[in-house]
A and B are shown apart, each in its own frame.
Chain A
Amino acid sequence: MIVKEWCMYCGECAGVCPRNLIEVRETRLNFNEEECKDCKICIQVCPVQALEKRDD
């Protein structure tokens, strides 16, 4: 997952991830990419569109 520079670490993406894969630190997001099922719900809810799926 690409986290854009303007992410504000609000944690909304983490709250909706059905697999609990997003760790929100004060100024960093960590994704457990291996477990990610690519449902894109986290991308959908972000109030500032700060997430983008990385092209593999």
Chain B
Amino acid sequence: METDILVIGAGPAGSTAAKHAALAGVSVIVMDKKSEIGAPKRCAEGVSKEGVEKLGIKPSERWIAKEATGVRMVSPNGTAVNLTEDKVKLPEAGYILERKIFDKYMAMDAGRAGAKIMVKTLATGMRREDDQVVVTAESMGQELEIKTKIVIAADGPESRVGRWAGLKTALKPKIMESCAQFEMAGVQMAEPDCIEFHFGSVAPGGYAWIFPKGDDIANVGLGVLTTITDKSAYEHLLKFVENNPATKNAQPVELNIGGDPVGGLLKKKVTDNVLVTGDAAGMVNPLTGGGIISGMMGGRIAAQIAAQAVSDGDYSQKNLKIYEKLCEEELGESFKKYLKAKDYLLSLSDEELDTIAEAFQDSDFETINTAEMVRKLVKISPKALLKLGKLF
């Protein structure tokens, strides 16, 4: 088999890459080891409306479970700070998706644009041949070889494909959130239209979340850094569900687990014939762990650069390198700020988080400005402010 571009992984990043490469007029194959694209889900399913719009995707009620118009931040003692969607720009605030349907829809769009889709097809290795690449794969008991000019590695947090090409996509445990989540029914949320974040020792190195999907249905999960806790993410989740007033009487209908790379953009994302995108390239907001929209942005850029390289007849690292600059501009700059914010958040003790939440719970975020926020912080917790100062 031969193609211009082979995309490995049909998650949001891979399908977006496949669609845009096909639209650019080159031949595209996209493969995924899953028998059903999008399942099982490994996600809390929150995306921003702005992100969906920026990608030029028409929102569809088929894949939107619910609109979430606000954000509720909860400190360890249960103090909540409520923000409206327009006051806080987070990649998860806006729509709660039905990812099993969304991912399939994105793949269908790629297919309609002209990409050939191969399901239940696992890439098993890669070798260079002349100025091209041969990817070995297995599909329903058959061994395949696909010769391609360019590989777009969109294989998610496993990120094995980039490593076959010599890129350092392996993740250290200190930047990989270990996540566990139940989709639950019978959840009694204080603000059913808000996505909810819980900070502090409830999820060491990360946070817990409750994202509403319907009247009493929600994704209830958390991410932890296993470098700072002896318990598994699943054990932390059981404790969170048991102790939280909203979930203690709820019942799970699904268990989801997975890794979320939160260390920021991978520095080197290209080599000869290969571009890495999505989670595999660290295209995840380091503060929130949200990577759907950013991965799709990355996938779109990868497609444009790869398609251009095919028409240039030059698949060298040198010709693909511009991808790194464009990703840095689109995602990298903001990720650096989010990384600092995350470091700050994780440096706070439960007591400090409670004090801050108590001071800000009645704030009018319509009118409060940064100077006022800092003044408040000086008053309530000079130590917390000092930690903030050290980071910026």
Partners in one complex: yes
The reply to whether A45 and B259 form a contact with Cβ atoms under 8 Å apart is: yes
The verdict on B233 contacting chain A, using a C-beta distance below 8 Å, is: yes
Contact status B158-A24, CB under 8 Å? yes
Q: Smallest Cβ distance from B264 to chain A, in angstroms?
A: 15
Label chain A's interface by main secondary structure.
loop
- Give A1-56 interface residues, CB cut-off 8 Å to B: 8, 10-12, 14-18, 20, 23-26, 41, 44-49
Does B232 lie at the interface of the complex (its beta carbon under 8 Å from any beta carbon of A)? yes
Residue from B157, B160, B226 in contact with A20 in the complex, judged by beta carbons closer than 8 Å: B160
Q: Is the CB of B232 within 8 A of A15?
A: no
Do A15 and B261 have beta carbons less than 8 Å apart? yes
Which of A14, A16, A47 touches B180 (beta carbons < 8 Å)? A47
The answer on a CB contact under 8 Å between B163 and A20 is yes
Cβ of A8: which chain B residues have Cβ within 8 Å of it?
A: 40, 255, 257
User: Are A17 and B170 within 8 A (Cβ)?
Assistant: yes
* A43 smallest CB distance to B (angstroms): 10
Whether the pair B158, A14 counts as a contact (CB closer than 8 A) is yes
B33 proximal to A (CB < 8 A): yes
Docked Cα-Cα span, A44 to B132, in Å, equals 38
Could you tell me which residues of chain B, from 3 to 38, have a CB within 8 Å of some CB in chain A?
Answer: 33-35
Q: Is A46's CB under 8 angstroms from B178's CB?
A: yes
Q: Please report the C-alpha to C-alpha distance between residue A46 and residue B157 in the assembled complex, in whole angstroms.
A: 13
User: Can you name the residue of chain A whose Cβ is closest to the Cβ of B164?
Assistant: A20
Rounded to whole angstroms, the CA-CA distance of A14 and B159 in the bound complex is 8
Q: Is the CB of A10 within 8 A of B257?
A: yes
Q: Which residues of A contact B179 (CB under 8 A)?
A: 47
Residues of B within 8 A of A24 (CB): 33, 158
Q: Report how far A14 CA is from B12 CA in the complex, Å.
A: 20
**Chain B CB within 10 A, most for which of A14, A26, A45:** A45
Report whether A48 and B173 are in contact in the complex, using a CB–CB cutoff of 8 Å: no
Interface check B171, CB cutoff 8 A: yes
Is there a chain A Cβ closer than 8 Å to B234's Cβ? yes
Q: Is A48 in contact with B180, judged by CB distance below 8 angstroms?
A: yes
- Restricting to B146-197, which residues have a CB under 8 Å from any CB of A? 156-160, 163-164, 170-173, 176, 178-180
- Most A CB contacts (10 A, CB to CB) among B120, B171, B176, B257 go to B257
B234-A15 in contact (CB<8A): no
In-complex Cβ contact of B170 among A10, A20, A44 (8 A) = A20
Inter-chain contact A48/B259, CB cutoff 8 Å: no
A12 contacts B34, C-beta separation under 8 Å: no
Q: A10 and B163 in contact (CB under 8 A), knowing A17-B170, A26-B33, A47-B232? A: no
Separation of A12 and B170 alpha carbons in the complex (Å): 11
Q: Does B321 contact A (CB under 8 A)?
A: no
Tell me if A45 and B255 are in contact (CB < 8 A).
Answer: no
19 A-B residue pairs with CB within 8 Å: A8-B40, A8-B257, A10-B257, A11-B156, A11-B158, A14-B160, A15-B157, A15-B176, A15-B259, A16-B170, A16-B259, A17-B170, A18-B170, A25-B122, A44-B173, A46-B232, A47-B233, A47-B234, A47-B257
Q: 4 new A-B pairs (CB below 8 Å) besides A44-B227, A47-B178?
A: A12-B157, A15-B259, A47-B233, A48-B257
Question: 6 shortest A-B CB distances, which residue pairs?
Answer: A12-B259, A11-B158, A47-B233, A47-B257, A10-B258, A14-B158
Q: Which B residues lie at the A interface, using CB under 8 A?
A: 33-35, 40, 42, 120, 122, 124, 156-160, 163-164, 170-173, 176, 178-180, 226-227, 232-234, 255, 257-259, 261
